[in-house]
Structure 1
Amino acid sequence: MKILIIGTGYVGATTAMVFAEIGWQVTGLDIDAGKIQRLRQGRLHFHEPGLEDMIAKHVKSSRLQFTTDKETAIKEHDVIFLCVGTPSLPDGSADLRYIGQAAKDIGRSMKGYKLIVTKSTVPVGTQEQIKKWIAAAQQEAIPFDVASNPEFLREGKAVEDALRPDRIVIGTDSQRATEQLQRLYSSFVCPWIITKPRTAELIKYASNSFLATKISYMNELAKLCDELEVNVKEIAEGMGLDPRIGSSFLQAGLGYGGSCFPKDVSELVMTSRKHHVNLRILEGVIEVNRTQYTYLLDKARLRLGGFAGKNITVLGLAFKPDTDDIREAPAIRIIDQLLLEQANVQLFDPIAALPGHASYRAVKVCSSAEEALRGSEAIILCTEWPEFGQLDWKKAKRLLRQPNFFDGRNMLDAKRMRGIGYYYQGIGGDH
């Protein structure tokens, strides 16, 4: 079987890599000629540890190719994975225009049976809609199947997750499709779930929404910990040892961001409302996350007597380490608020960059953490990049105008920071 990947973003590039790695012939298709040119040279257009090397390896071997010729690509490939974006619309629902366009392109160009597999995160019922789009675009009736095969990749850990998945979920109502996908994934040893398309689609949303719920729960609890003078890290450790709870996603901080959790929780809430069901817990999760960043800002504002004219260092821009993804990143919200209150913002992130919006021209983007600290009256740590933990904070203190440290990720040791002369404030941290 020859595999076509439509969309060469984070999910598409990773999916292309993993199928090439296990021995299949793979082609990546994208309408963005610039992306395709870079990928043909074995270069990525985003940051993901280890993925570029894997892409380059399989481009060199010719097992992985890239094209902008969608008509030829669709004709020549047996299995087509849809890995295009499904961003949120203003009301929180998923924008399916790219999925719809890909489906119509397939319908117009296919000349024989195709298995179309949705990797993109899509609302429940999208598999049925894709069938309709393809059938409506066909010039003559040609058989095809559409299956759901959601991805469970962590940004910053995509290569590891793709090569060693914790489960494979397949949603299909076709035995032929099931057998083809089992053959494609036959080299993986992990639990399989073969179910209906709607169930597979909902598994992805339910998984991400539950993880987002754990994050927002701990962020709420951290506020109580501050009032009770209790260390939220120790609370998380005590909770995480219970196997029914587990230790992952119990870290309090500024809130979640990225390409998945914000849009997936919002879409699940929108789906529930369309079916006259109120998911009140998830509505609370969204609200907690929307306002979480203000908790630390309020403490910083009180400490400084306002932000106007103050030099504020923001360390970290990406929503998490090992990625350049700034979608829904708490740091962006913090910077926006600081600029609104006329602060002088000094920013450093080792990988991620600010959007090209004119409003960010006032931000001093620095080439090192030390440069960003110079003359600062407060530090706000937004991303737990390892190099921030390795920085000589005793030496760095000499660069500051005032040693105020607001740790939005509870990354550093509170007692040590206070011992070398910092005013240190975390979120539900040590007292």
Structure 2
Amino acid sequence: MTGASRRIAVFGAGYIGLVTGACFAELGHRVVVRDIQPERIRLLNSSDVPFFEPGLGELIARNKERLAFTLDVQEAVADAEAVFVCVDTPPTASGDADLSRVWAVIDAVRRASHLVAVVVKSTVPVGTGARVRAALDERGLTHVGYASNPEFTAEGRAVDDFLHPDRVVIGTEDPTAAAWLADLYKPLDAPVELMDVASAEMVKLASNALLATRITFINEIATVCEATGADITRVSRAIGLDHRLGPHFLKAGLGYGGSCFPKDSRALRAMASNSGYPFQLLNAVIQVNELQPRRAVQRLKAELNGLKGRRIALLGMTFKPATDDMREAPSAVIAARLLAEGATVTCWDPMAPRTTADHAPWTSVTRHPDPLTALTDADAAILVTEWPELTELDWPTAARTMRTPLLLDGRNLLDPTPLLAAGFTHMSVGRPTHRPT
């Protein structure tokens, strides 16, 4: 806990807002989270978290005396010292970030003259802070500080990332806001990087773009490995042992997805293009990533000599394990391409929301409650998400239930040796195809 309990308003009850609010409450502060969706607030007030994030539900329950949820702006800001803006900034048709929700918050707090600061955690284009500062000034809030405080949490480990950060980035020209925020984060015992607002905004976009570039690079190397007979798992391990490079984000697979990397990469590319600079490296990163799940379908098509009339099982739907998030998931591209090729598609995922079935391409996909049922009578399977349940699956039984025991391991999760013994043809990313003798 901090020495002094602060009063904080968090606008946005999504992944970032709820984690931010719950973690600040865990640090001993009084937090009110405000959202515009009545059903979401109803669920939270009923102690029901509207999405899955490990540890978040327990954190909210443990701090229920310090944590409140509301639809009402005035209830949220009444006693708050600072407002944290944690709303979505989805891409527009041009690839730019849609800041309408950010502006709605700024307009909503126009009478909150008692605030120390308005703090934006949402990912925004560089230059947004200057515009927000001007908007606050126009509303007579010249004395209210403004800060950019980007988040660096990954879905599936967001609570731990917040409470044990590598660094805290604070961008502000206001010394009072800087001191208030530095004190707020002091219990986390992490380096605090103080800088100007524009630099803080760029840190977030550049960090995600660099991580996306590492993923794309290793996927390109994997493709070369497939052509030359090299093994990407051995290559990436040896690369990662170089202290200059490290092992993180060097795992070949079906490409990145989720709410951050695709959106932020496109936003940075759009921002550069709007400034007259064609960000060619980022263009290539985005293009390669969009191709990666399509390559998996093409490889399967070649292996089966066509996909029309074939039954293909997808194992995993979410963009990564330990989350129920389907945003920009490679599974959607794979399912759509399989259907376009005339295949019948079945799927399994332990956490993908049931409402997914209401949206294309999932309206044409049959979802099953367990992997073995999804695999029954399948001509092939693609392992899309590296759920730990798949390492414990009875693969010999799976081989017997499938029409053709063919598996494309899109995450290089499984050891091919026992699969070969079970009768599988084992394809993967960046490794030779193994066929039973």
Coarse TM-score class (shorter-chain normalised): over 0.9
Specify the SS of the correspondent of 1:117: strand
Q: Could you say which residue in structure 2 is the equivalent of 1:74? A: 77
* Greater mean alpha carbon deviation, residues 277-286 or residues 219-228: 277-286
Specify the SS of the correspondent of 1:5: strand
Deviation track 1:267-310 (CA, whole Å, cap 9, x = no partner) reads 11111112222321111100000111111111101111222211
Q: Distance in 1 between matches of 2:73 and 2:18?
A: 17
Q: Could you say which residue in structure 2 is the equivalent of 1:311? A: 311
Q: Distance in 2 between matches of 1:370 and 1:37?
A: 37
Deviation track 1:219-247 (CA, whole Å, cap 9, x = no partner) reads 11111100111100000000000011110
Query: Is the 1:41–1:56 Cα contact (8 Å) retained in structure 2?
Result: no
Q: Could you say which residue in structure 2 is the equivalent of 1:213? A: 213
Within-5 A mapping of 1:233-252: 233-252=233-252
Query: Is the 2:357–2:363 Cα contact (8 Å) retained in structure 1?
Result: no
Q: Distance in 2 between matches of 1:206 and 1:99?
A: 21
CA displacement at 1:141 relative to structure 2: 5.2
In structure 2, do the counterparts of structure 1 residues 254 and 352 end up closer, same or farther at CA, with 3 Å as the change threshold? same
Q: Distance in 2 between matches of 1:24 and 1:121?
A: 24
Q: Distance in 1 between matches of 2:102 and 2:216?
A: 31
Select which of 366, 378, 381 maps to 1:376: 378
Q: Distance in 1 between matches of 2:290 and 2:360?
A: 24
Query: Is the 2:317–2:352 Cα contact (8 Å) retained in structure 1?
Result: yes
Within-5 A mapping of 1:377-396: 377-396=379-398
Deviation track 1:174-204 (CA, whole Å, cap 9, x = no partner) reads 1000111012112111111000011111001
What is the identity, as a one-letter code, of the residue corresponding to 2:99?
L
2:413 is the alignment partner of 1:408: no
Q: Could you say which residue in structure 1 is the equivalent of 2:3? A: none
* Greater mean alpha carbon deviation, residues 183-192 or residues 76-85: 183-192
Deviation track 1:311-343 (CA, whole Å, cap 9, x = no partner) reads 110000000000111111100000011112221
Query: Is the 1:5–1:80 Cα contact (8 Å) retained in structure 2?
Result: yes
What is the identity, as a one-letter code, of the residue corresponding to 2:74?
E
What is the identity, as a one-letter code, of the residue corresponding to 1:273?
S
Query: Is the 2:150–2:200 Cα contact (8 Å) retained in structure 1?
Result: yes
Select which of 91, 94, 101 maps to 1:91: 94
Q: Could you say which residue in structure 1 is the equivalent of 2:368? A: 366
Specify the SS of the correspondent of 2:48: coil
In structure 2, do the counterparts of structure 1 residues 382 and 342 end up closer, same or farther at CA, with 3 Å as the change threshold? same
Specify the SS of the correspondent of 1:166: coil
Q: Could you say which residue in structure 2 is the equivalent of 1:426? A: 428
Q: Which runs of 5 or more structure 2 residues have no equivalent in the other structure?
A: 1-5
In structure 2, do the counterparts of structure 1 residues 133 and 164 end up closer, same or farther at CA, with 3 Å as the change threshold? same
Specify the SS of the correspondent of 1:428: coil
Q: Could you say which residue in structure 1 is the equivalent of 2:59? A: 54
Query: Is the 2:382–2:409 Cα contact (8 Å) retained in structure 1?
Result: yes
What is the identity, as a one-letter code, of the residue corresponding to 1:84?
V
CA displacement at 1:355 relative to structure 2: 4.7
What is the identity, as a one-letter code, of the residue corresponding to 1:332?
A
Q: Could you say which residue in structure 1 is the equivalent of 2:169? A: 169
In structure 2, do the counterparts of structure 1 residues 16 and 348 end up closer, same or farther at CA, with 3 Å as the change threshold? same
Q: Distance in 2 between matches of 1:124 and 1:191?
A: 23
TM-score by length of 1: 0.96
Within-5 A mapping of 1:250-399: 250-353=250-353, 354-357=356-359, 359-399=361-401
Specify the SS of the correspondent of 1:156: coil
CA displacement at 1:81 relative to structure 2: 0.1
Within-5 A mapping of 1:54-203: 54-59=59-64, 62-107=65-110, 109-136=111-138, 138=139, 140=140, 143-203=143-203
TM-score by length of 2: 0.95
CA displacement at 1:359 relative to structure 2: 4.8
Query: Is the 1:112–1:143 Cα contact (8 Å) retained in structure 2?
Result: no
Q: Which runs of 5 or more structure 1 residues have no equivalent in the other structure?
A: none
Q: Distance in 2 between matches of 1:358 and 1:85?
A: 22
How many aligned positions are there?
Answer: 426
2:45 is the alignment partner of 1:40: yes
Specify the SS of the correspondent of 1:42: coil
Query: Is the 1:324–1:351 Cα contact (8 Å) retained in structure 2?
Result: yes
What is the identity, as a one-letter code, of the residue corresponding to 2:52?
H
Specify the SS of the correspondent of 1:264: helix
In structure 2, do the counterparts of structure 1 residues 192 and 142 end up closer, same or farther at CA, with 3 Å as the change threshold? closer
What is the identity, as a one-letter code, of the residue corresponding to 1:10?
Y
Query: Is the 1:112–1:142 Cα contact (8 Å) retained in structure 2?
Result: no
Q: Distance in 1 between matches of 2:359 and 2:158?
A: 29
CA RMSD, 1 decimal: 1.3
Q: Distance in 2 between matches of 1:114 and 1:69?
A: 20
What is the identity, as a one-letter code, of the residue corresponding to 2:80?
H
Q: Distance in 2 between matches of 1:359 and 1:161?
A: 33
* Greater mean alpha carbon deviation, residues 119-128 or residues 352-361: 352-361
Specify the SS of the correspondent of 1:265: helix
CA displacement at 1:117 relative to structure 2: 0.4
